[in-house]
Copies of this chain bind each other. A is one copy, B any other.
């Protein structure tokens, strides 16, 4: 691998000059600049990160804290990571994965991000890994989704809207509930606790059970909202299609409305904001991103292409 000295030698200048050209941190005559650039391209020189970092005290790396249990309910972590990687790479950075429960040196990366819903004050401390770092919070708003779902149903004349929530042990579950309550209030509808079912866990059969509980109760409902991918799958499989159903994720169920979560936008925004922050810019403490409702779609990716993120 070519070093800066190789370039300097080939160009017939000192290696400091090469550095000045590459970072244009000092004025350099046009002639030498050209010589240097020629040498750089000829040798295919790329600066050595470790060396540069040592002096600059910048690692050109963004750390990602990975919790052992995936606390993300709304988006696919793999896609999130891929998009974050893309965003970082196009800014010349790399992503470094680190278990959230490990204690690595903080200066292993220039900045750290994690994801997930910050704690709702009402909830017990589940997100035990409360970021000790000052990461720019970019969040996808489940409350918005819930609200939008309720609005959609009420606009179609529904008045008694059931909710199968996420179990409260899951961070972010409260936001679903919050949005639901808020939307009801705004629509001037009363809140009936009998219409809300909280499953034991976020699994397929819990969704089935929750649905059956709701159906067996004397509470009649004319619309239903289901939170959580697993739960929704269960519900949809036993659903009798009596009332409109809106699930948290438009995935692979026919004719069911669901949300598309702006994973790419989320990851890109978070990375971009962090980089801005590293450059010393004061950034908004929180940015909310909203999912978009895909009405009665078949739910396949192709069907959603036309939709814009909010």
Query: Is B300 a contact partner of A204 (Cβ separation < 8 A)?
Result: yes
Q: How many monomers of this chain does the complex have?
A: 2
A127–B48 alpha-carbon span in the complex (Å): 29
Give the residues from 22 to 71 in chain A that come closer than 8 angstroms, CB to CB, to chain B.
46, 48-51, 53-54, 59, 61, 64, 66, 68, 70
The answer, among B1, B54, B102, B254, for a CB contact under 8 Å with A205, is B254
Q: Please give me the residue from chain B that is nearest to A237 by CB atom.
A: B237
Q: Are A54 and B46 in contact (CB under 8 A)?
A: no
Report the Cα distance A284→B97, complex, angstroms: 27
Complex: A214 Cα to B81 Cα, angstroms: 38
| Whole-angstrom CA separation of A289 from B48 in the bound complex | 37
A68: nearest chain-B partner, CB-CB: B82
Report Cα–Cα, A302/B214, bound state, in Å: 26
Q: Taking CB as reference atom, which chain B residue is nearest A236?
A: B237
**Interface residue? A272 (CB, 8 A):** no
Q: A184 at the A/B interface (Cβ < 8 Å)? A: no
Q: Are A97 and B95 in contact (CB-based, < 8 A)?
A: yes
* A117 sits at the interface (CB 8 A): no
The stretch from A104-112, A186-194, A273-281 touching chain B is A104-112
Contact B252 A105 (CB under 8 A): no
Whole-angstrom CA separation of A54 from B49 in the bound complex: 9
Establish whether residues B76 and A99, one from each chain, have CB atoms under 8 Å apart when the complex forms. Answer: no
Residues of B within 8 A of A95 (CB): 96-97
B98, B230, B253: the one within 8 Å of A94 (CB): B98
Q: Are B78 and A98 neighbours in the complex by a CB distance under 8 Å?
A: no
- Known A82-B66, A230-B252, A252-B204; contact A98-B89, beta-carbon cutoff 8 A: yes
Contacts of A46 in B (CB 8 A): 105
Which A residues from 155 to 171 make CB contacts under 8 A with B? none
Using a CB–CB distance below 8 Å, which chain A residues touch chain B? 1, 46, 48-51, 53-54, 59, 61, 64, 66, 68, 70, 76-79, 81-82, 84-86, 88-89, 94-99, 102, 104-105, 107-108, 203-205, 230, 233-234, 237, 251-254, 298-300
Other 8 A-B pairs with CB < 8 A, given A49-B105, A94-B96, A95-B97: A50-B54, A68-B86, A76-B78, A89-B98, A94-B104, A96-B97, A203-B300, A237-B237
